[in-house]
Amino acid sequence: MILIYSPEENPRVVWTLDLVFRQLLGTEYRLTTFPNELDFAGGPALAYSLTPVGDHPWLKASGLLFERDIREQHAGIRPGSWKNLKTIFTILANEQDEAKKPILNFDLLSAVFYFVTRYEEYLPFEPDEHNRFHSSESLAFHLGIQEEPIVNQWVRAFGDLLEHLYGPAISLKYPEYTYLPTIDVDNAWAYAHKGFARFIGGLWQDRHSMEARNFRFQVLRENQNDPFNTYHLIHHFHHEASVKAVWFFLLGDYGPNDKNVHHANYHLQTLIYNISIENPVGIHPSYASNSSPAIVSREIARLAKITGQPVTRSRQHFLRLHFPETCRTLAHLGVREDYSLGYADRPGFRGGIASPFRFFDLEANQDTDLTIHPFQVMDITLRQYLSLTPDQAIEKVLELGAKVKLVGGTFITLWHNEALSEWKEWTGWSEVYRRIVKELNSL
């Protein structure tokens, strides 16, 4: 137990202390707003405040956690470095008390809060073509640390400092490394089970290729396996590596960016039900649902009816995650876990963290019960955005996984069933998935 003094016991302070001390350091703390209590702690104690408190170890606060509003933080962020790690909210020499130096040269708690709450995504930004926050808009990108679990790295180094200060009086237990594969089913089949109208439309698309038309007919006659029907192969790879995945299913109405088989299709419902028997499943809210809680609710009800289970997990189609609206909608509809925090165009750590955390609603200035699970890499990012070869993709994924292994956290991959099809642009990529699942789980 460590006693921490702060001049305020507000939602920002409590949420951040819970994340840093309870979750990432694995130790209990008690918060006090009375500085004199530190003198009678009888054990580890420190102050988090604008000015020092006696001779107690002191984390100098920038003031961010004592604010109530959301505003540009350019003047306060100030990049710096500590323990060979890039930092933000650096404390300048002229801001330090001459008689008492803080134990860190940056405000760790504000830095964690800024990155993990996605503070910058509440500020004005230039969205991409899908109205998403683009990775190039992020502070981590500009600092060159987007592929670093920087929050976990800061906290591990801070833990070393605490053990040096307090010795055996403090006991820390860091999170263990785990690997979690996740699968998005945007399009359960390439050709099969899509109905007469879409079949005719497909023939029109293939009108200039006899080979494509013949292949389509062979699939529909069940003389050829549908390219996207890779479920047995995925299950085999997961069984081989002794892992279970979380599966997300798109059940939205047909549209330009929502092209799965109809939600009432018997074959799709059978697929979903059979997967849900042995694996956790979640909703993949459609592109069209992003601005409509009513549509999200309808799609959640469809999945619940198919599986016979409450829907508590979600990942946004096209990763269209908007703060705080998306998270508020999900929480209101009973979703307890979201897996959308990541970028489409680059791998890495969108929140700077490789651990699940409770969503903090900055506009409402309050903690919530919704847990966000950040993912680090997506198949389409590697092949399409980065144009990596299969071997290069394996190297990149394992490099990121090794960084998470060093600090303790959860490494999450986002894959699609078509990425194992060995069809068209995905030729050679099923081996990528087999390798990364096996090796990430054995790190």
Is residue 194 packed enough to be buried (19+ CB in 10 Å), middle (13-18) or exposed (0-12)?
A: buried
- Nearest partner of 404 among 153, 88, 98, judged by Cα: 153
- Nearest partner of 366 among 339, 315, 327, 330, judged by Cα: 327
- pLDDT tens digits for the chain (443 residues)? 999 999 999 999 999 999 999 999 999 999 999 999 999 988 999 999 999 999 999 999 999 999 999 999 987 899 999 999 999 999 986 666 666 789 999 999 999 999 999 999 999 999 999 999 999 999 999 999 999 999 999 999 999 999 999 999 999 999 999 999 999 999 999 887 775 456 555 555 655 555 555 555 555 656 678 889 999 999 999 999 999 999 999 999 999 999 889 999 999 999 999 999 999 999 999 999 988 999 999 999 999 999 999 999 999 999 999 999 999 999 999 999 999 999 999 999 999 999 999 999 999 999 999 999 999 999 999 999 999 999 999 999 999 999 999 999 999 999 999 999 998 899 999 999 999 999 999 99
Give residue for tokens 């530190």: 38
Which structural domains are found in the chain, ordered by start? 2-169 (no CATH), 178-190+226-441 (3.20.20.370)
Predicted structure pTM score: 0.94
| CB environment 81-106: b (16+ within 10 A), e (fewer) | ebeeebbbbbbeeeeeeeebebbbbb
CB–CB of 384/419 below 8 Å? no
- CA distances 20 to 201, 224, 369, 435, Å, are 54, 53, 17, 33
- What is the separation, in whole angstroms, between the first and last Cα of the chain? 32
Is residue 31 packed enough to be buried (19+ CB in 10 Å), middle (13-18) or exposed (0-12)?
A: middle
